[in-house]
A = this chain, B = another copy of it.
Amino acid sequence: MTADRTPTPADSPTPVPTRWVGPLRISGNAANGETHVPLATYESPLWPSVARGARLSRLVADGITVTLVDDRMTRSVLLRTTDAEGAHTAARNIHARMEELRALTRESSRYAELLAVRHEITGPLLFVRFEFATGDAAGHNMATLAADRLLNHLLTRLPDITYGSVSGNYCTDKKATAINGILGRGKNATAELLIPQPLVARHLHTTSRRIAQLNVDKNLIGTLLAGGIRSANAHYANMLLAFYLATGQDAANIVEGSQGITYAADRGGDLYFSCTLPNLIVGTVGNGKTLPTVEEALTRLACREARPAGHNARRLAALAAATVLCGELSLMAAQTNPGELMRAHTHLERRNGAHHVH
Contact = CB atoms under 8 A, between A and B. Distances in A.
B3 A10 contact: no
A221 interface: yes
B224 A293 contact: no
Given A67-B88, A218-B168, A10 B20 contact: yes
A148 interface: yes
Contacts of A11: 18-20
Contacts of A60: none
A195 interface: no
Nearest to A28: B85
A38 to B, nearest CB: 7
A196 interface: no
Given A18-B11, A124-B272, A3 B48 contact: yes
A266 B229 CA distance: 27
Contacts of A142: 357-358
Interface in A147-182: 148, 151-152, 155, 163-182
Interface in A202-222: 214, 216-222
Contacts of A228: 169, 172, 175-178, 229
Interface residues of A, number: 158
A15 B291 contact: yes
A301 to B, nearest CB: 10
Contacts of A182: 120, 178-179, 182-183, 225-227
B223 A125 contact: no
Contacts of A259: 176
A285 interface: yes
Contacts of A65: 83-85
A282 to B, nearest CB: 12
A322 interface: no
B16 A245 contact: yes
Contacts of A276: 84, 121-123
A232 interface: yes
A17 B13 contact: yes
B121 A177 contact: no
Contacts of A238: 174, 252
A218 B175 CA distance: 13
A217 B13 CA distance: 38
Contacts of A55: 4
Contacts of A32: none
Nearest to A168: B222
B5 A47 contact: yes
Nearest to A231: B175
A348 interface: yes
A271 interface: no
A122 B221 contact: yes
Given A1-B348, A5-B47, A6-B20, 12 more contacts: A5-B19, A12-B293, A42-B250, A65-B84, A67-B88, A127-B222, A169-B219, A174-B238, A174-B258, A175-B226, A224-B230, A237-B252
Interface string A239-253: 011000110111110
B109 A84 contact: no
A300 B10 contact: yes
Given A3-B19, A42-B288, A274 B84 contact: yes
